[in-house]
Amino acid sequence: MFDRRRRRKTHEEAVRYAANGWPVVPLAVPHRGGCPCGKACIEPHAAGEVVRDGTSADEVWTGPDSWGIGLVAEGFDVMQLPAQYGALLNHQLKAGCPTAMAPAKRQWWFFVVTGSVSREQVRRAGGVLRSGVADWVPAPGTWLEDTGRIRWLVQPYLTGWRPYQRKDPIDEVFSGL
């Protein structure tokens, strides 16, 4: 019963992300030395095709109960930052940026407009920039052995399903032109 409920909830979440323009991929999440893909994997990995709309998600989202959702970095970039920068940035952006966190590792994920932050800038801060169809992050709600349960701090629906668009004074002045 629980597994069926969990599978239905995961399916509904995948459909919701895809229907709102956030591409998803089935995610095989190893647990206690086993992987739902049947191999001896130790890291989570994409285990299917990228789904870009709710209708497709409804048709192709299948898999074992232990599969999760990967959010594909297509249409947005994901800045993965360590705590010393993540907490400060989250405080500055408030509810304007979809933000997730893996509490056990104190990793922060900020969903930003593609190309708005340089990869080098994120790397210098000790982070990783995820960008493009080949890159993904586990969707909040996913439990990983090394990070614990990933959770949303600012859910994407609170920002109209839009990644954060950087604005500085130049953007503000020229926005009406």
Digit-coded pLDDT (tens) for 127-172: 999 999 999 999 998 888 777 889 999 999 999 999 999 876 656 6
In this prediction, residue 177 carries a pLDDT of 52
Q: Is residue 171 part of a domain?
A: no
Residue 66 clears pLDDT 60, i.e. is over it? no
Residue 123 clears pLDDT 80, i.e. is over it? yes
Hey, what long-range contacts does 168-174 have (CB within 8 A, 24 or more apart)? none
Number of H helices, E strands in the chain: 5, 9
Q: Is residue 173 part of a domain?
A: no
Q: Is residue 175 part of a domain?
A: no
Residue 118 clears pLDDT 60, i.e. is over it? yes
Q: Is residue 177 part of a domain?
A: no
Residue 61 clears pLDDT 70, i.e. is over it? no
Residue 2 clears pLDDT 60, i.e. is over it? no
* Average pLDDT over every residue of 36-59: 81
* Average pLDDT over every residue of 27-55: 84
Domain that holds residue 36: 2-166
What are the distances in angstroms from CA 13 to CA 22, 58, 68, 74, 97?
Answer: 11, 11, 10, 18, 20
Residue 76 clears pLDDT 60, i.e. is over it? yes
In this prediction, residue 49 carries a pLDDT of 84
Q: What percent of the chain has pLDDT over 70?
A: 87
Mean pLDDT taken over the chain: 85
Number of domains making up the chain: 1
* Average pLDDT over every residue of 70-97: 92
Q: Which of 3-17, 91-105, 109-123, 152-166 has the lowest mean pLDDT?
A: 3-17
CB 102 within 8 A of CB 114: no
Q: Is residue 40 part of a domain?
A: yes
Q: Is residue 58 part of a domain?
A: yes
CB 35 within 8 A of CB 148: no
In this prediction, residue 1 carries a pLDDT of 40
Q: What percent of the chain has pLDDT over 90?
A: 44
Q: Is residue 24 part of a domain?
A: yes
Q: Is residue 140 part of a domain?
A: yes
